[in-house]
Amino acid sequence: MLIVSFSAAFAQNDTLRVMQYNLLNYGNYTSYCNTTNNNINDKNGYIRTILTAYYPDILTVCEMGRSASLPNDFLNNVLNVNGLNFWMARGGANTGNSSLTNCIFYNSTKLTLVGQHVAQSNTRDIDVYDFKFKNDDSGRIVLTCVIAHLKAGSSNDDANKRKIMAENTMRYLENNYRESNVLIMGDFNLYTSTEGAYQALTNSTTYPNSYFIDPLYPYGVGAWNNNSYYEDYHTQSTHKDSNSDCHSSGGMDDRFDFILMSENIYGGREGIRYIGNSYNALGNDGYRFNKSINSPTNYAVSQAVADALYNNSDHIPVTMELLVQYNIGVDEYAENTLSFDIFPNPASDNINIRFYQDNLGKAKILLFNTLGQTVYSSDIFINDCLTEHVVNVDNLPKGLYFLKITNADGLTNTNKVIVE
């Protein structure tokens, strides 16, 4: 994880932890998901166990039943337990009258919900939630969470419906949330990044003021379906074989679940910055391809958490962390440090670097060893705000190194790199 530090000029910083999770028919009983194989009381226990591995400040979910009582039931049985009472919930509007809805849960000691909207209702609603931060004295920092459960299915018609849902949403965001702090998350049911829905969400030409950046771009982006190359990033299915009709089977071989961020969040331009390398598929240890999440032994989470992931849903959660910088000057938001992604890390041949800067000009990249000796140095000219650069390390001895970047805006940061 990249740890980002800001100067003492800011009165306070905070880390916001975000989780997106498809709960699999939570409180929605069907002919195939019933009170025996998907009992809500059992699911509450599983989710409580899962949250011991990652406790978020914002939890967005798909596949909650449409009963108006379910969000409060979830609050009282999963989140506001063991003396906690600060969690709040807001269900989706469900203007499309779907049997499955979205819902958001949030830490009310950090966040205040100030708005709720529907971006589009074709097939299913895509819900929009606006938050302000309790510790932001300026009142200017706003975070918008968009929750989408795109059409399932592998047919061309299914893919086209996903594309329509995504395009409707992007037009809404382009009209209403230009250059804002926006996350879009959910179960997108995408089999490949070439699908129209993914292309619409990340299209900086058609939607220059609202397009999204994938935290896993470029190394985790491609033809995900049944492709072992992307085994580190798959989020579905937790079951190799299923003893019931509720959970899909086949093992982990699809990247269906996402949290994407607006350029503002990636660049940290409006008080919120993505913490590099913090994006994670909870419980995916990279050894799950076409296997269950809990067998063989899972090296990313405890056996209890792996079993809970297995039993609760055929998806696993995705998580990310954001740095919130409070009490910035009223006239403009300042940036005193540089956030960047390094992948892979550890590395054996190439290190890929991705970072953001507002202005054109030269950036300096240095790699040095534990003795302080520079082993790589490069000055690169930046003509695009979102920049990628490759450093070859296959001729370096194995061990610990430090990568330092200074961009044209004068921002700098250093992070550890392991060569193996």
- What pLDDT is attached to residue 337? 58
pLDDT digits (tens, 9 = 90+) for 174-218: 999 999 999 999 999 999 999 999 999 999 899 989 999 999 988
The span from the CA of 265 to the CA of 273, in Å, is 5
CA separation, residue 186 to residues 82, 189, 200, 212, 231 (Å): 28, 9, 15, 14, 19
Domain 12-326 falls in which CATH fold? Deoxyribonuclease I; Chain A (3.60.10)
- The pLDDT, as a whole number, for residue 352 is 84
Q: CB under 8 Å to 229, separation ≥6 — which residues?
A: 222
Band of pLDDT at residue 2, cut at 50, 70 and 90: very low
From-to residues of CATH 3.60.10.10 in the chain: 12-326
Fold of 340-419: Immunoglobulin-like (2.60.40)
pLDDT per residue over 225-256, tens digit each? Answer: 999 999 999 999 999 997 777 999 999 999 99
pLDDT top residue among 7 and 201: 201
Query: Exposure pattern of 223-253 as b/e (b: 16+ CB <10 Å)?
Result: ebeebeebbbbbbbbbbbebeeebbbebbbb
397 half-sphere exposure, CB direction, 13 A CA radius: 6
Q: Please check whether residue 299 is in contact with residue 288, taking contact to mean a CB–CB distance below 8 angstroms.
A: no
> Residues 282-327: pLDDT tens digits?
999 999 999 999 999 999 999 999 999 999 999 999 999 999 987 6
pLDDT of residue 389: 83
- The more confident residue out of 41 and 418 is 41
Residue 383 pLDDT exceeds 70: no
Q: Which pLDDT band, with edges at 50, 70 and 90, does 387 fall under?
A: confident
pLDDT-based confidence at residue 403 (cuts at 50, 70, 90) = confident
**Helix runs in 237-352, H state only:** 263-267, 303-312
Separation between Cα atoms, residue 78 and residue 76, nearest integer Å: 6
Domain with CATH 2.60.40.2550 in the chain: 340-419
